[in-house]
Amino acid sequence: MSPQENLRSVNYGNLVSGERYTPESWQRQYSPVDDWDETFRNGNWDDLGDLSQAARHALIAGYVHKLVRRGHVLDAGCGEGVLIDYFDTARIEYTGFDISRTAIQRAQEQHPSARLCSSSIEDFVPPAGVQYDAVIFNDSLSTLKSPIEMIDRYSAFVRPAGYIIVSQYQSPNPLGNGALLTRMFEAELAAGRYRVAVRTEVVNRDTDRRWRSYCLTGV
């Protein structure tokens, strides 16, 4: 990593308990996006592929390459397919989908051979008989009406001994979706709802933007 970026990864240690998750408490507080396709058309997410965010994407790919080694991953809410560049496609078979058709079109233009489709996270169903070695929610859980329920739903799409990887931007606004979900998710982890193989925080020290990542096992 270049010295200009000054990025570091640090272990995220003790969990900080927050409010336990319920669908009602989450839906009462989170802010939904009305039109995801419009946000991509307007360029709201153009910086996702910047070098300033490379560390958090590389961390996700590192989890996959270390733990899965060879296998099939599902990127749920993949946007413009930023993660594709971080995978060794000789080892990792990639499938991605996003609710935004604009995002998927752009991803397909950049990666013509990638397996991509347009779908919401709530509606996606794998092809018959297909399971994944890892399912990735890269900044996508906090956009959902029922985020924790989606972890439980997608656990059925994971092979035995597979993983669910969650990466979540830490909004400096304590009422933002990312901060709210993190508090609730960590309260669920502290209560033993999921088993965590590893958790890490990535910090860009130039901007103080932060992402927390969790690799869940035994889901």
Q: So what's the pLDDT on residue 7? A: 31
- The residue-averaged pLDDT of 111-119 equals 96
Chain-centroid distance, C-alpha 215: 10
Domain map of the chain by residue range? 7-217
DSSP state of 206: T
CB atoms within 10 A of CB 65: 16
Q: Which band of pLDDT confidence, cut at 50, 70 and 90, is reported for residue 219?
A: confident
pLDDT tens digits for 145-165? 999 999 999 999 999 999 999
Distance, in Å, from the CA atom of 145 to the CA atom of 102, rounded to the nearest integer, reads 22
pLDDT tens digits for 185-194? 999 999 999 9
Tokens of 94: 């990639």
In the chain, the DSSP E strands lie at 7-11, 71-76, 92-98, 115-118, 132-138, 158-169, 195-204, 209-217
Distance, in Å, from the CA atom of 206 to the CA atom of 208, rounded to the nearest integer, reads 6
Domain 7-217's class?
A: alpha beta
Q: pTM of the full predicted structure?
A: 0.91
- Do 62 and 217 contact (CB within 8 A), yes or no? no
